[in-house]
A and B are shown apart, each in its own frame.
Chain A
Amino acid sequence: MAEKNERNVLHVENVTMQFGGVVAVNNLSIDVKEHQIVALIGPNGAGKTTAFNCITGVYHPTNGLVEFLDQPIVCAHPTGKMKKAYKGEEPEKYVHRHELNPTPDQITRLGIARTFQNIRLWKSITVFENVLLAKHMRAKQNVFSATFRGNAREERRMREETMALLEEQGLDRFRDELATSLPYGLQRRLEIARALATDPTLLLLDEPAAGMNPQETQELAEFIRQTREKYNLTVFLIEHHMDLVMRISDYIYVIDFGSEIARGVRRDVQANQKVIDAYLGVAEDE
């Protein structure tokens, strides 16, 4: 790799997720360097979202290690029944390490924010409140100071920051609308704004271009790049729109049936025969 001296923001090592007898993610290892845009691609059902869920604490992987800014955040090895049933590799490697099983909110607190494949906005509160609420976890208030308005200064600061963020994202016009009343593309943008409000170092985007036309996809690519510059972010995204991926990614991992089949910069991946096979296989379905 060209940028060897850059710091690893996310380091995924031998992560395997096995549900019963099904291996959804098999021995996946990924490195995301600071300020990069890295993509994880693969056909439908390849295990991309499962990999994301293992990193963000939604699932506890069966085996493997995840490090964020050189600190271990998730660490697992097969236990109980899974000891016998385990089909993946390296079952002994993490046995002697301290097991780490964080909840998603702890991961977010560390500075990893995510969006969802099927948009998950809070539907009964406004656009403004959706973004404002993402600031809740970083606030110093407690339930008494919040109830009896002892946190007025902090509340005002959070509101101002939220408003600034909405203006930057061009969503301030819709401030008082219900989040779900926005058009689809704006809902996606709002979800990214909400993720940005948690003050992340690493942004995980789960199929940000799903359901978008080529024009919108192009705008989104530009938007992601700008956002990275503005907030000094590292971006790790899942996508199966090759178009978007090829446009913005610095480095690409390709998986199929849970296992890595290729990695590299755009040109290498595009020329890789395995990748072409995997994608031509699904091209008939589309």
Chain B
Amino acid sequence: MVNQTKQKKTSWIALLCVAALLLLVIILENLSAWTGVKGILAPTSQLFTVLKKAAVYSLVAVSMNLLNGFTGLFSLGQAGFMLLGAYTYAILTVPAAAKDQVYYLYGGSAIRYSVIDLLGKLFGSSGAGGAVSLILGVLIALICAGLVAALFAWLIGLPVLRLKSDYLAIATLGFAEILRAIFQWQRLGPVTNGANMIKQFPTFTSFNIKNAAGREVLRLSTFVPFLVAAACIFIIVLLINSSYGRAFKAIRDDEIAAEAMGINLFRHKQLAFVISSFFAGVGGALFAMYVANAQAKVYTSTMTYEILLIVVLGGIGSISGSCIATFLYVAASEWWLRFLDVETVLGNGFKVPLLRNGFRMVVFSVIIMIVVLFFRQGIMGDKELPDLLRRRGRQSKSAAAEETEGGHG
């Protein structure tokens, strides 16, 4: 069928673009080591912080878009599922040797093993074997993080998904807040380390390849979050373009018609909720890797709102919109507007007015308001990048055809 082959071609092109992007990230990260150029490309530069955080956030934003944008379920539990993912990952990967130190307030952890240590026994814990057990261990921990979040989503979904619109949002928000309180509970200390942070688990920098002398040969600390996020987003895109994705959109467009055409509403909503939470859990684990600790008090509703804002800015129902908006949002809030927070005195002794700590957020809010006013549907609306390119191609083609016709006439 024509449609299908066209779709296949588009997805191959998209896949190539993603591969190119990943390669670019590796090159960008190692350019300073290879050429000696410092400044913006230095490993400590803001650029890489922003890239890492944006990669993590883009996954969470896309997972939220799957639920809010494609299925039409207004859920605000994302931070809660991220928290579940972050803790699952952290608990599973803190090395056994470091447990006493991390859990010193509780006299060691209740969970005596870590996935990576167990794999280390299998493959050896140094050299290539160590690398294999690290990669496999982190992968298993990431998947477990997703599965735990998905399990909780399934349980929560049983009562909560019978609610609609605002009520669903309130219920999921409440769930996230309850989780945050439970994870800070002293009694759970031996598992969650109470209100203290869990540290010393493998982070993105653990993936930098070092030689025998301990010098970094190849930096991969930005590549890893990109790779994981890209793989997850790719799976979400596949899902959205499948029969189930179409069913989700049908539920969003018209629930009554969807039900009348034999789509089991509850089962499909449950499915979207569980899948979205799975990827939010993976995103939470990545976030823990990014900040190098897991601490319940970070995963507040503010975090959910931040992600919701990204989804709205990018366009509800657009995956590429969410990705683009994430990078712009994170770069603007963490990097480009930083100078507004610093009191600046120009060369001629002129003190720039208004610049002081906190002014950045004022400007940022104004920018967001302007964007929302001018892009009512978000940056991308419900279109994807390939859609825009195709539309343009078709227009120019038809314009060309008209011109030639006109010429003959």
Which residues of chain A have a CB within 8 Å of any CB of chain B? 56, 58, 103-105, 108-109, 113-114, 116, 120-125, 128-129, 132-134, 136-139, 141, 143, 146-149, 151, 155-156, 158-160, 163, 194-195, 198
Is B257 a contact partner of A149 (Cβ separation < 8 A)? no
Asked if residues A146 and B265 are in contact (CB atoms below 8 Å), the reply is no
The CA of A148 and the CA of B244, in the complex, are separated in Å by: 12
Q: Contact: A121 with B257, CB < 8 Å? A: yes
B-chain residues with CB within 8 Å of residue A138 when the two chains form the complex: 262
Assuming A105-B262, A148-B238, A159-B1, what are 4 further A-B pairs, CB within 8 angstroms? Answer: A124-B382, A125-B249, A136-B243, A159-B4
- The answer to whether A143 touches B271, judged by C-beta atoms less than 8 angstroms apart, is yes
> Shortest CB–CB separation between residue A38 and chain B, in angstroms?
20
Nearest A residue (CB) for B11: A149
> Are A133 and B244 interface neighbours, CB within 8 A?
no
B78 CB to nearest A CB, Å: 21
Q: Contacting A122 at CB < 8 Å: which of B4, B235, B249? A: B249
Interchain nearest-CB distance for A240 vs B (Å): 22
Q: Main SS of chain B's interface residues? A: helix
| CB closest residue in chain A, given B262 | A137
Contact B382 A120 (CB under 8 A): no
Within residues 255 to 285 of chain B, which ones have a CB less than 8 A from any CB in chain A?
256-265, 271, 275
Pick the contact of A141 from B1, B243, B254, B261 — CB < 8 Å?
B243
Report which of B4, B261, B265 forms a contact with A134, defined as CB distance below 8 A: B261
A108 vs chain B, min Cβ distance (A): 4
Closest 9 CB pairs of A and B: A137-B262, A108-B262, A120-B257, A146-B242, A122-B253, A104-B259, A147-B239, A134-B261, A122-B250
A162 to chain B, nearest CB (A): 10
Complex Cα spacing A146 to B317, Å:
20
Bound: A143/B268 CA distance, A: 10
Q: Are A123 and B253 in contact (CB under 8 A)?
A: yes
Shortest CB distance B222–A (Å): 28
Decide if A103 touches B249 in the complex (CB within 8 Å): no
Q: Which of B235, B259, B271 has the most CB of A within 10 A?
A: B259
B246 touches A129 (CB 8 A): yes
- Within 8 Å CB of A136, what residues of B? 243-244, 246-247, 261-263
Residues in B335-390 with C-beta less than 8 Å from chain A = 382
Residues in A whose Cβ lies below 8 Å from that of B264: 103, 105, 137
User: CB-CB < 8 A to A158: which residues of B?
Assistant: 243
Q: In the complex the two chains form, what is the Cα distance from A84 to B278 in whole Å?
A: 49
**Given contact pairs A128-B3, A136-B246, A146-B244, A108 touches B261 in the complex (Cβ within 8 A):** yes
Smallest CB gap from B239: residue in A: A147
User: Are A104 and B260 also in contact (CB < 8 A) when A122-B249, A125-B246, A155-B243 are?
Assistant: yes
* Given the contacts A147-B239, A149-B238, A124 and B262 also touching, CB distance less than 8 Å: no
Measured in the bound complex, the distance between the Cα atoms of B382 and A146 in whole Å is 23
- Shortest Cβ gap from B79 to chain A (Å): 25
A105, B254: Cβ atoms closer than 8 Å: no
Are A132 and B246 also in contact (CB < 8 A) when A120-B254, A159-B1, A163-B1 are? Answer: yes
- In whole Å, how far is A201's beta carbon from the nearest beta carbon of chain B? 14
Most buried by A among B235, B253, B256, B257: B257
Collect the chain A residues with CB atoms within 8 Å of residue B246's CB: 125, 129, 132-133, 136
Residue of A nearest to B317 (CB): A124
Q: Which residues of B contact A125 (CB under 8 A)?
A: 246, 249-250, 253
**If the complex has contacts A120-B254, A124-B253, A146-B242, are A134 and B382 also in contact, measured as CB distance less than 8 A?**
no
A109: contacting residue among B1, B4, B258, B262, CB under 8 A: B262
Check B257 against A147 for contact (C-beta < 8 Å): no
CB distance from A258 to the nearest CB of B (A): 22
Closest approach, in angstroms, between the C-beta of B235 and any C-beta of chain A?
A: 7
When distances are taken between beta carbons in the complex, the residues of chain A under 8 Å from B260 are: 56, 58, 104-105, 108, 113-114, 116, 120
> Which residues on the B side are within 8 Å of A121 (C-beta)?
254, 257
Give complex CA distance A148, B241 in Å: 11
Instruction: Decide if A133 touches B247 in the complex (CB within 8 Å).
Output: yes
Whole-angstrom distance from the CB of A19 to the nearest CB of chain B? 18
Bound CA–CA A147/B272 (angstroms): 13
Task: List, sorted by A's number, 21 A–B pairs whose CB atoms are closer than 8 Å.
Answer: A103-B259, A104-B256, A105-B260, A105-B261, A105-B263, A108-B262, A120-B257, A122-B250, A133-B247, A133-B250, A136-B261, A139-B243, A143-B239, A143-B271, A146-B243, A146-B244, A147-B239, A158-B243, A159-B3, A159-B4, A198-B261
Bound: A123/B257 CA distance, A: 11
> In the bound complex, how far is the Cα of B238 from the Cα of A132, in angstroms?
17
**A residues in contact with B256, CB < 8 Å:** 58, 104, 116, 120
User: CA of A104 to CA of B254 in the docked complex: distance in angstroms?
Assistant: 14
Q: Which residue of B is nearest A132, CB measured?
A: B246
Chain A residues contacting B247 (CB-CB under 8 Å) are 133, 136
Give the residue name and chain of the A residue nearest to B264 (CB): A105
Report the minimum CB–CB distance from A153 to chain B (whole Å): 12
Q: Nearest-CB distance from B65 to chain A (Å)?
A: 14
In the assembled complex, the CB of B201 is this many whole angstroms from the nearest CB of chain A, namely 30
Measured CA separation A48–B398 after assembly (Å): 49
Chain B: minimal CB distance from A60 (Å): 14
Q: Say whether B254 contacts A147, CB under 8 Å.
A: no
Chain B residue with Cβ nearest A124: B253
* Smallest beta-carbon distance A256→chain B, Å: 27
Within 8 A of A (CB), among B10-40: none
* Max chain B Cβ within 10 angstroms of own Cβ: one of A120, A138, A160: A120
Task: Report the separation of the CA atoms of residues A146 and B245 in the bound assembly, to the nearest whole angstrom.
Answer: 9
In the complex, A205→B313 CA distance in Å? 42
Instruction: Please determine whether B1 and A156 come into contact, CB atoms closer than 8 angstroms.
Output: yes
Asked whether B238 lies within 8 Å of A116 as measured between CB atoms, the reply is no
B contact residues around A129 at 8 Å (CB): 246
Q: Give, as a whole number of angstroms, the nearest-CB distance from B391 to chain A.
A: 12
Q: Is the CB of B259 within 8 A of A147?
A: no
Please name all residues of chain A whose beta carbon is closer than 8 Å to the beta carbon of B259 when the two chains form the complex. 103-105
Closest A residue, CB atoms, query B272? A143
Contacts known (A146-B244, A147-B235, A163-B1); A133 close to B253, Cβ less than 8 A: no
